C-alpha cells in the first residue's frame, strides 16, 4: 500500500494458528501507521508480537508485544518516506 510516508508491505507469519489474511493498513500520519489483523480461527492467543523493519535495509527486526487480545497496533516515531515490512505472530 502506498502512503504519504512511503510504502507498507505487510506479511503475516503465525506458526501455530490459522490467520485469515494479512495485516491491513488502517491509518497513516506523517510519523506513524496503524495496522490491524484477523484473529486466528483456532485458540485466540492472549497477546501478539508485531515485528517491523525498514524494507530497504537488513536491520534487525524491532518487536512490539501487545498487552491484550487486541488485533490492531499503532507504530509511532517513524522516519518520513520509508518503506516498512511488518509481520504479526501469535
Tens of pLDDT, residue by residue over 23-60, are 899 998 989 999 999 888 787 788 899 999 988 878 88
Listed residue (90, 35, 42) closest to 68, CA to CA: 90
d(CA 55, CA 66): 22
Indicate yes or no: pTM above 0.75.
no
Cβ-based burial of 80 (10 A; exposed 0-12, middle 13-18, buried ≥19) = exposed
Amino acid at each position: 500500500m502506498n502512503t504519504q510516508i512511503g510504502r507498507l508491505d505487510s506479511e503475516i507469519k503465525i506458526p501455530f494458528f490459522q490467520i485469515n489474511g494479512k495485516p491491513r493498513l488502517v491509518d497513516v500520519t506523517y510519523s506513524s501507521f496503524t495496522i490491524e489483523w484477523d484473529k486466528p480461527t483456532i485458540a485466540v492467543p492472549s497477546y501478539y508480537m508485531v515485528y517491523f523493519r525498514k524494507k530497504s535495509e537488513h536491520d534487525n527486526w524491532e518487536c512490539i508485544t501487545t498487552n491484550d487480545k487486541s488485533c490492531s497496533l499503532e507504530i509511532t516515531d517513524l522516519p518520513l518516506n520509508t518503506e516498512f515490512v511488518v509481520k504479526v505472530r501469535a
